[in-house]
Amino acid sequence: MRYQDIDWDTMWRESRTHKSWKKKKSSDWDRRAASFAERNIDSPFVAQFISHLHLEPEWSILDVGSGPGTLAIPLSSRVRQITAMDYSSAMLAELDKRAKGAGQKNITTIQASWTDDWQAMGIPCHEIAIASRSLSVDDLKGALRKLNDWATKAVYIVDRVGAGPFDPDLFKALGRDFQPGPDYIFTVNILYTLGIHAHIDFITLNSNRTYRSREEALQSYRWMVDDPTAAEEERLIAYVDARLSQTGDNSWQLARQTPPQWALIWWQK
């Protein structure tokens, strides 16, 4: 077989059918918006991501899958304007609230998804397009093309490396097989087939994760597991409690064996 004979898009679609997790709906993210926003304030991920960006003050950024403004809010002081797009209305409401609190007035929010017609919605091109940890899509090649078409200077995306945010040891504790599905290497090779030769950097987060309460830690781990049985719920609680320690009045730390890792994939136009 020659490299050019490999159909990476078909392989990606096939690999997705074997993943152990379901794609979250907008209603799922709506319910998680407030806690997700709180936990991602001053996240070490944000500082690492921003350190790799090449920006100019007069540029604009399109942030696709912006969530509650994890990147949009800290980036808003560095550029002229940001368009934050998400399909969760609650996430965008959190973003608007937090941007107002931070005194940032150059962020425009748009409720839209990858499958919407961005051109018909009047979404303009921006110098920079970002899709950070938001590429859980049904048509990856189409999403990558869209990002490339809506950027005039550069595109930055963040994709999973292996398990990404999932904790493989949790699935072992539950007695479940864990298949994370296709990760960044498929994305890089699909970009190659589109004639895009991307740079790759890696962001590795700390193995220890901090929560404001035991219940928040449990909810974070429940988010990883689809439709747990009563017995699996008991094992999940035991797994979290065995690794969780209270470090302050409103601070709990959970020690993971496998640190979350992400690939920062970017290219210039």
C-alpha closest to that of 69 among 40, 49, 48, 44: 40
Q: Does any domain span residue 230?
A: no
Residue 8 has pLDDT above 80, yes or no: yes
Q: Does any domain span residue 229?
A: no
Residue 25 has pLDDT above 80, yes or no: no
- Are the C-beta atoms of 68 and 33 separated by less than 8 Å? yes
Furthest-apart CA atoms within the chain: distance in Å: 59
Q: What's the CA gap between 127 and 153, in Å, rounded?
A: 5
Per-residue confidence (pLDDT) for residue 33, from 0 to 100 = 59
Q: Does any domain span residue 53?
A: yes
Q: What is the rounded average pLDDT of the residues 196-209?
A: 94
Q: Does any domain span residue 184?
A: yes
| CATH classification of the domain holding 127 | 3.40.50.150
Per-residue confidence (pLDDT) for residue 123, from 0 to 100 = 96
Q: Give the domain range for residue 157.
A: 3-169+177-207+257-268
Q: Does any domain span residue 231?
A: no
Q: How many domains does the structure of the chain reveal?
A: 1
Residue 60 has pLDDT above 70, yes or no: yes
Q: What is the rounded average pLDDT of the residues 35-53?
A: 80
C-alpha closest to that of 130 among 260, 266, 19: 266
Per-residue confidence (pLDDT) for residue 34, from 0 to 100 = 64
Q: What's the CA gap between 212 and 246, in Å, rounded?
A: 9
Per-residue confidence (pLDDT) for residue 27, from 0 to 100 = 74
pLDDT band at 32 (very low <50, low <70, confident <90, very high): low
Per-residue confidence (pLDDT) for residue 111, from 0 to 100 = 97
Q: Does any domain span residue 196?
A: yes
Q: What is the rounded average pLDDT of the residues 251-266?
A: 94
Residue 37 has pLDDT above 60, yes or no: no
Residue 7 has pLDDT above 80, yes or no: yes
Q: What is the pTM of this model?
A: 0.90
- What's the chain's average pLDDT? 92
SS (H, E, C) the chain: CCHHHCCHHHHHHHHHCCCCCCCCCHHHHHHHHHHHHHHCCCCHHHHHHHHCCCCCCCCEEEEECCCCCCCHHHHCCCCCEEEEEECCHHHHHHHHHHHHHCCCCCEEEEECCCCCCCCCCCCCCEEEEEEECCCCCCCHHHHHHHHHHCEEEEEEEEEECCCCCCCHHHHHHHCCCCCCCCCHHHHHHHHHHCCCCCEEEEEECCCEEEECCHHHHHHHHHCCCCCCCHHHHHHHHHHHHHHEEEEECCEEEEECCCCCEEEEEEEEC
Give the model confidence (pLDDT) of 103-115 as tens digits: 999 999 999 999 9
Which amino acid is present at 157?
Answer: I
Give the model confidence (pLDDT) of 61-87 as tens digits: 999 999 999 999 999 999 999 999 999
Helix axis angle, 8-16 to 184-193, nearest 10°: 150
Give the model confidence (pLDDT) of 117-150 as tens digits: 999 999 999 999 999 999 989 999 999 999 999 9
Q: Does any domain span residue 10?
A: yes
Work out the percent of the chain whose per-residue pLDDT is above 90: 80
Q: Does any domain span residue 96?
A: yes
Per-residue confidence (pLDDT) for residue 22, from 0 to 100 = 73
